[in-house]
């Protein structure tokens, strides 16, 4: 998964670079079947990622949603920051 990828153009082609954060991993993916577990995880994601801490989902909404759980066995992360002249 790549996050915050951005291309920085330099004065020459060799001075052009990309800033990014990424994570690569291995593990086992499994489909979440239980309605309550789907609701719990989606409400948590809405609170953390969408600034919607008060969002409440209904069981009937879960019939049209697939939620996958990934149990990671190994992962690695990389971070390549923006060039100094482009940092805020």
Same domain, 58 and 80: no
Same domain, 37 and 61: yes
Domain count, the chain: 2
Same domain, 22 and 3: yes
Structural domain for 86, as ranges: 1-26+74-88
Same domain, 19 and 42: no
> In 3D, which of 66, 69, 42, 38 has the Cα closest to residue 55?
42
This prediction has a pTM of 0.64
Q: So what's the pLDDT on residue 64?
A: 92
pLDDT averaged over 10-residue windows placed end to end, the chain, 88 residues:
85 87 94 98 94 95 95 93 75
Q: So what's the pLDDT on residue 76?
A: 95
> In 3D, which of 67, 46, 45 has the Cα closest to residue 55?
46
């Amino acid at each position: 998964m790549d996050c915050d990828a951005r291309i920085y153009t330099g004065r020459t082609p060799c001075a052009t670079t990309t800033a990014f954060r990424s994570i690569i991993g291995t593990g086992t993916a499994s489909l979440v079947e239980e309605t309550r577990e789907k609701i719990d995880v989606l409400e948590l994601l809405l609170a953390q990622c969408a600034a919607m801490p008060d969002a409440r989902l209904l069981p009937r909404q879960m019939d049209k949603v697939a939620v996958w759980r990934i149990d990671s066995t190994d992962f690695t992360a990389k971070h390549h920051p923006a060039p100094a002249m482009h940092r805020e």
